[in-house]
């Protein structure tokens, strides 16, 4: 299972929110590159960068930060937040993103998103499936989590699987930033129900939201998650970079 630390950006600074609420913003470092270098020094290879200004503005804003991290580290970066047009995507890839994540666009303009999958391939495009839990499993949220759609989580993922998506970042918004543990049951359900006979490649599910202790990581790996995004647990010293380094070495 890949370890993918998160850097969320507002006004060029490394921040964290709770449940996606911009009013809960906490600045952890004014220089995201410093943070990225610390991750790289700990043997980490991957990074999840979210342009929170972009998510709100519905267009890429913090591409200069992406460019700086990409040009001054060897981290493989997936980048998301406000990518809505072909131009946004071009800027993200030209700024050094290895992969991009599309969430709101996949809901609101599936034609554009499907065009990206076709043009760049399933190795480059990640589906962002951010959800509010309910009795059916969950409803997909959009626009920096400020809007809830009527789309159900598992059918949403399955449908895009049929269109070629492999990588899916799935965030339980109710758990994000709460440090109370991830949605183990939901991830198990997704992996069980999104095993589609017609799909040639298996789903690469990336868990996100609520990670709070190191012990949760082997459990997510055993569940079948391909990767895990860790944010506040690192910044609040609930999980140390040394623990992550050892986890990566043991793999």
Catalytic residues: 8, 130
- Structural tokens at position 22: 């911009």
- Structural tokens at position 202: 């298996």
What is the Cα–Cα distance from 82 to 102, expressed in whole angstroms? 8
- Partner residues linked to 13 by β-bridges: 10
What is the Cα–Cα distance from 65 to 194, expressed in whole angstroms? 35
What is the Cα–Cα distance from 80 to 8, expressed in whole angstroms? 10
User: Helix 184-193 to helix 216-223 angle, to the nearest 10 degrees?
Assistant: 10
């Amino acid at each position: 299972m890949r370890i993918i630390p998160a850097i969320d950006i507002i006004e060029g600074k490394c921040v964290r929110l709770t449940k996606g609420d911009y009013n809960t913003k906490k600045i952890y470092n004014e220089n995201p590159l410093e943070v990225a270098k610390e991750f790289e020094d700990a043997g980490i290879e991957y990074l999840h960068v979210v342009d929170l200004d972009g998510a709100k503005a519905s267009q890429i804003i913090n591409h200069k930060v992406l460019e700086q991290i990409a040009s001054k580290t060897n981290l493989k970066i997936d980048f998301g937040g406000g990518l809505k047009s072909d131009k946004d995507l071009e800027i993200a890839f030209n700024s050094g993103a290895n992969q991009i994540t599309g969430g709101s666009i996949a809901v609101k303009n599936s034609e554009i998103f499907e065009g990206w999958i076709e043009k760049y391939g399933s190795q480059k495009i990640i589906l962002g499936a951010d959800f509010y839990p309910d009795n059916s499993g969950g409803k997909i949220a959009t626009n920096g989590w400020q809007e809830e759609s009527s789309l159900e989580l598992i059918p949403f993922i399955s449908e895009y699987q049929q269109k070629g998506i492999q990588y899916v970042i799935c965030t339980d918004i109710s758990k994000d930033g709460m440090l109370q543990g991830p949605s183990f049951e939901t991830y198990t359900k997704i992996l069980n129900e999104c095993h589609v006979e017609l799909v040639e490649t298996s789903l690469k599910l990336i868990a996100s939201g609520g990670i709070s202790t190191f012990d949760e990581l082997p459990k997510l790996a055993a569940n079948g998650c391909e990767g895990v995004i860790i944010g506040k647990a690192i910044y609040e010293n609930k999980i140390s970079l040394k623990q992550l380094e050892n986890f990566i070495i043991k793999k």
